[in-house]
Chains A and B, each alone.
Chain A
């Protein structure tokens, strides 16, 4: 296994007139979860489809597990697993039948495919549901079975394209736990997501994609530091006191405070954390403002994205995508 499980340099891909990837550079060290973060249309899925040999690249070069994806796709396919945006399962079959079928198509042979199916059902906590049809599975169970199917050959590199889109919080946690246990066994994971907390939760390194190229990358912590330090955040009970609170916060803040009226929240970046916190807390108390919560927090990845791209993550597109799926 080379040092980088995935190495892409200047990868380009055009669909019609749209430049989906515009010189993508990526170096994913072996054995970690690497998050590709970006809104719809940023090129995340195209990147995964090229790296998993589904789509040919127009230009540049990409290697997975040290093998050129364009020149030797068959060899790459023996070393990768792919779990796409849908649970790619045969819904008529049972969970066990699905895993056995995919095992045989991975050329394990009938016996080993059966043994491997049992192992994976055990590992992904699906033994009880093993002989039920997929139609009876919850969203989280489907995604877990989908992950299991992508793990049949114990791949060096696993591609997870938005693995929790459309799942409820419980299903999302189930998938996150499954991913963590895979990484503990040494698999390299390339995870795409538009859920910023998901990248924050799982990834050791994150690349932020915008318009087909990487605009920032690094550990989540350093990305957050990149856009400035901690923020002070105050939540008040009475919306009428929001503007007075904002004024107090503005005195210690290093930038204009942001006011979220619906949440009753005021927040702003601060440089001298503790002094700012004590100052604001004391002033608000003296002024008799009814404070529900006050504290310091690191910026969210939403804010990272806004800072890096100058535009917001496209919530409308996200909502449409989820609507189409429901």
Chain B
């Protein structure tokens, strides 16, 4: 049996085949987690759903949208963006979990495709994020949110949200390889919360103090949220700064830049495990 396997594993074509097959096995592993632990999804979504209720109903009446428009309409794309932005913590958590328990070492000692650990993580996380968006979208519809954009625009908006999540996977992998244990990964929340909140997700940057507004405007989360608001046809409270005027461009550019910087860093860190 093994001689057959060995012969079949030589060559470029076979390598690509196994890279894809191994990636899929890792993706299936992630999906099995959702099946075996549906409560995980509940935890993952609990925060944005509670935020919808808090911001939409508790603070909502005190919130105003510059340029007019319904606050809950304004809020929902922000909620989608926040969930995508905080998703890197899930990535980091699983990476830490695997290395702390020796699962990463087991993978590395096996004849599997080395890239599959990372690509499988990426594809799995995107599937998970799509699930998040489906559940959040339904919640949003339930509280009265609507997309007045066309089907393509609406899909493009969700595509931009997933693009942000994709870029942040590499930050998640890198952080997961850098932090020592799961507790430390949990404390990343202290970074993730301001990262997602100091943006246009909940409040228009023009309502913040000048310096904070500038930070919020240049936050990649803001570009994605503003661009998706425009595509959904929701009130977007777009200011007149360059970065707000070019939200669509920036919502593509930011993820490309983030990926270009952090993907190589994450790969290098992974390779350094063998130092």
With A78-B2, A106-B110, A107-B18 known as contacts, the answer to whether A88 contacts B105 (CB < 8 A) is: yes
List the count of A-B residue pairs having beta carbons below 8 Å apart: 84
Tell me the A27-85 residues at the B interface (CB within 8 Å).
Answer: 49, 52-56, 74, 77-78, 80, 82, 84-85
With A56-B274, A90-B29, A133-B36 known as contacts, the answer to whether A82 contacts B106 (CB < 8 A) is: yes
Q: Are B274 and A55 in contact (CB under 8 A)?
A: yes
Chain B residues whose C-beta falls within 8 Å of the C-beta of A150 in the assembled complex: 106
Chain A residues whose C-beta falls within 8 Å of the C-beta of B21 in the assembled complex: 104, 107
Chain B residues whose C-beta falls within 8 Å of the C-beta of A78 in the assembled complex: 2, 5-6, 111
The contact of B102 among A85, A94, A97, A108, by CB within 8 Å, is A85
Please, what's the 1-or-0 string for B19-34, where 1 marks a CB less than 8 Å from any CB in chain A? 0011001101100110
Closest CB of chain B to A21's CB: distance in Å?
Answer: 14
Q: Are A80 and B36 in contact (CB under 8 A)?
A: no
The residue in chain A whose Cβ has the minimal distance to the Cβ of B36 is: A92
Q: Tell me the count of chain A residues lying within 8 A, CB to CB, of chain B.
A: 35
Q: Are A88 and B106 in contact (CB under 8 A)?
A: yes
Tell me the B84-139 residues at the A interface (CB within 8 Å).
Answer: 100-103, 105-112, 116
Quick check: is A167 within 8 A (CB to CB) of the other chain? Answer: no
Chain B residues whose C-beta falls within 8 Å of the C-beta of A108 in the assembled complex: 5
Q: Are A86 and B102 in contact (CB under 8 A)?
A: yes
Chain A residues whose C-beta falls within 8 Å of the C-beta of B273 in the assembled complex: 54
A52 to B274, CA, bound (A): 11
Closest CB of chain A to B99's CB: distance in Å?
Answer: 10
Q: Are A102 and B275 in contact (CB under 8 A)?
A: no
The contact of A105 among B2, B101, B107, by CB within 8 Å, is B107
Closest CB of chain B to A79's CB: distance in Å?
Answer: 9
Interface of A is mostly: loop
A78 to B4, CA, bound (A): 12
Quick check: is B241 within 8 A (CB to CB) of the other chain? Answer: no
The residue in chain B whose Cβ has the minimal distance to the Cβ of A93 is: B32
A108 to B2, CA, bound (A): 9
Q: Are B25 and A101 in contact (CB under 8 A)?
A: yes
Quick check: is A153 within 8 A (CB to CB) of the other chain? Answer: yes
Q: Tell me the count of chain B residues lying within 8 A, CB to CB, of chain A.
A: 32
Q: Are A54 and B36 in contact (CB under 8 A)?
A: no
Chain A residues whose C-beta falls within 8 Å of the C-beta of B110 in the assembled complex: 77, 102, 105-106
A93 to B30, CA, bound (A): 10
Quick check: is A189 within 8 A (CB to CB) of the other chain? Answer: no
With A77-B109, A78-B111, A88-B106 known as contacts, the answer to whether A56 contacts B275 (CB < 8 A) is: yes
A107 to B110, CA, bound (A): 10
Quick check: is A89 within 8 A (CB to CB) of the other chain? Answer: yes
Q: Are B18 and A54 in contact (CB under 8 A)?
A: no
The contact of A88 among B18, B22, B101, B112, by CB within 8 Å, is B101
Closest CB of chain B to A324's CB: distance in Å?
Answer: 10
The contact of B106 among A49, A56, A93, A149, by CB within 8 Å, is A149
Chain B residues whose C-beta falls within 8 Å of the C-beta of A52 in the assembled complex: 109
A88 to B102, CA, bound (A): 5
Q: Are A86 and B109 in contact (CB under 8 A)?
A: no
Chain B residues whose C-beta falls within 8 Å of the C-beta of A77 in the assembled complex: 109-111
Q: Are A97 and B105 in contact (CB under 8 A)?
A: no
A74 to B5, CA, bound (A): 13
Tell me the B5-60 residues at the A interface (CB within 8 Å).
Answer: 5-6, 9, 18, 21-22, 25-26, 28-29, 32-33, 36-37
Chain B residues whose C-beta falls within 8 Å of the C-beta of A56 in the assembled complex: 274-275
A106 to B116, CA, bound (A): 12
Closest CB of chain A to B270's CB: distance in Å?
Answer: 12
A49 to B102, CA, bound (A): 12
The residue in chain B whose Cβ has the minimal distance to the Cβ of A133 is: B36
The residue in chain A whose Cβ has the minimal distance to the Cβ of B37 is: A92
A91 to B33, CA, bound (A): 10
A239 to B26, CA, bound (A): 62
A204 to B106, CA, bound (A): 26
Closest CB of chain B to A206's CB: distance in Å?
Answer: 24
A154 to B213, CA, bound (A): 61
Chain B residues whose C-beta falls within 8 Å of the C-beta of A84 in the assembled complex: 102, 105-106
Chain A residues whose C-beta falls within 8 Å of the C-beta of B111 in the assembled complex: 74, 77-78, 106-107
A sample of 26 inter-chain contacts (CB < 8 A) reads: A49-B105, A54-B109, A54-B274, A77-B110, A82-B105, A86-B102, A88-B101, A89-B101, A89-B103, A90-B103, A91-B101, A92-B37, A93-B32, A94-B36, A97-B32, A102-B106, A102-B110, A104-B22, A105-B22, A105-B107, A106-B112, A107-B111, A112-B1, A149-B106, A150-B106, A153-B2
Residues of B that sit less than 8 Å from A by CB: 1-2, 5-6, 9, 18, 21-22, 25-26, 28-29, 32-33, 36-37, 100-103, 105-112, 116, 273-275
Question: Which 8 pairs between the two chains have the least Cβ-Cβ distance?
Answer: A88-B102, A88-B106, A86-B102, A105-B112, A82-B109, A77-B111, A84-B102, A104-B25
Beyond A87-B101, A91-B101, A92-B32, 14 extra complex contacts between A and B, CB < 8 Å:
A49-B105, A52-B109, A54-B273, A78-B5, A82-B106, A85-B102, A88-B105, A92-B37, A93-B29, A101-B25, A101-B29, A102-B110, A105-B112, A107-B21
